[in-house]
């Protein structure tokens, strides 16, 4: 299969990848058009444009996502409809450059167990996005912003609706709570990086959470993006999920994009 999928399995199949437990649904609800104007779908391939990761618009020609999503071809924007196998020019923009964080790495523990560090990337688009009601940038947390621990935020994505399912054709949304570092340390299967690079969150309802191909999506609290989805514990909807901490990486984002 594609290189991206191999890396994706390395990052996300942590612990018992082939669990015999019942499937854990994301348990999200459909978003409405224009509700998340900053959301984009990052696409594989020049022909079918298959969804690979989520991302957020941060400027006219800039999208923020996870570094483990790798170098992709295009973004789909301005709609909640995924349309996996269509490349609609009205909603598609080609990617010009891919800028992973220089210290990004996939720390391999064994053949099936690994985790990412400094997992954040910028994608520069070939042309400016056509801003309008359904296409707008998200505000990023400032480098001196206080992390709003214990506060509920929102996450949106087109990820799998079950562990062995497929990407959702309609953008889904869920509310999740930002946990304090001590909780993350003790509930993340040793994936959480307690050095300021990660934040973590989760739902109080078992079976509600992110899943495969939600990678790179934005975690937003009160209209401000604090995180980029980097990793999760399996099965989908269990334990905690980890985000690259925008507050920590804010200077790097500005150094590349000027934003």
What span, in angstroms and rounded, lies between the C-alpha atoms of 106 and 164? Answer: 24
Helix (H) / strand (E) containing 62: strand 62-65
Instruction: Determine whether 182 is an active site residue.
Output: no
| Catalytic annotation, pick one of 51, 68, 101, 248 | 68
Tell which residue, 133, 131, 151, 129, has the closest CA to residue 141. 151
Active-site pick, 51, 56, 65, 119? 119
Helices (H), the chain: 3-12, 181-187, 246-257
pLDDT of residue 19: 30
168, 215, 244, 257: the catalytic one is: 215
Are residues 244 and 237 in contact, defined by beta-carbon separation less than 8 angstroms? no
Structural domains in the chain plus CATH codes: 3-257 (2.40.10.10)
Distance of alpha carbon 41 from alpha carbon 85, whole angstroms: 12
**E strands in 126-209:** 139-140, 152-157, 172-179, 198-202
Tokens of 30: 């459909």
Query: Could you confirm whether 105 is annotated as catalytic?
Result: no
pTM, entire model: 0.88
| Predicted pLDDT of residue 85 | 60
Give the C-alpha distances (Å, rounded to integers) separating 89 from 48, 75, 78, 147, 148: 13, 10, 11, 38, 39
Q: Which of 168, 174, 175, 196 is nearest to 184 (CA)?
A: 196
> Could you give the C-alpha distances from 96 to 62, 124, 190, 245, in angstroms and in order?
10, 5, 36, 25
C-alpha span between 178 and 165 (Å, rounded): 27
User: Which pLDDT value is given to residue 235?
Assistant: 76
Please give the structure tokens belonging to residue 253: 């984002």
Q: Is 188 in the active site?
A: no
Tell me whether strands 241-245 and 224-232 are parallel, antiparallel or unpaired. Answer: antiparallel
pLDDT for the residue numbered 159: 86
Q: Find, among 189, 216, 199, the residue nearest to 115 by Cα.
A: 189
In order along its 259 residues, the chain shows pLDDT tens digits of: 333 333 333 333 333 332 322 222 357 789 999 999 999 999 987 655 788 999 999 999 999 999 999 889 999 999 999 886 666 778 999 999 999 999 999 887 655 567 899 999 999 999 999 999 999 999 999 999 999 999 999 999 998 877 767 778 899 999 999 999 999 999 888 889 999 999 999 887 777 778 888 999 999 999 999 999 999 877 777 778 999 999 999 999 999 999 9
């Amino acid at each position: 299969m594609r290189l991206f999928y191999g890396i994706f399995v390395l990052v996300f199949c942590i612990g018992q990848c082939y669990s015999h437990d019942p499937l854990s649904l994301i348990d999200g609800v459909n978003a409405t058009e224009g509700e998340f104007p900053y959301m984009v779908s990052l696409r594989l391939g020049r022909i079918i444009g298959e969804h690979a990761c989520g991302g957020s618009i941060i400027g006219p020609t800039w999208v923020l996502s996870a570094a483990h999503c790798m170098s992709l071809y295009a973004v789909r924007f301005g709609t909640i409809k995924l349309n996996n196998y269509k490349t609609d020019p009205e909603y598609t923009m080609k990617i010009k450059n891919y800028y992973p964080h220089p210290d990004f790495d996939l720390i391999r523990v064994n053949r099936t167990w690994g985790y990412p560090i400094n997992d954040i990337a910028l994608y520069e688009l070939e042309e400016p996005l056509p801003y309008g009601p359904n296409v707008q940038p998200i505000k990023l947390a400032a480098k001196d912003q206080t992390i709003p621990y214990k506060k509920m935020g929102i996450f949106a994505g087109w990820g799998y609706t079950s562990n062995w399912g497929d990407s959702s054709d309609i953008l889904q949304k869920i509310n999740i709570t930002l946990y304090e570092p001590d909780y993350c340390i003790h509930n993340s299967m040793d994936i959480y990086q307690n050095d300021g690079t990660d934040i973590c969150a989760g739902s109080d309802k078992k079976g509600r959470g992110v899943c495969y191909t939600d990678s790179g999506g934005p975690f937003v609290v009160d209209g401000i993006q604090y995180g980029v989805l980097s990793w999760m514990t399996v099965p989908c909807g269990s334990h905690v999920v980890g985000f690259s901490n925008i507050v920590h990486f804010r200077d790097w984002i500005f150094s590349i994009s000027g934003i």
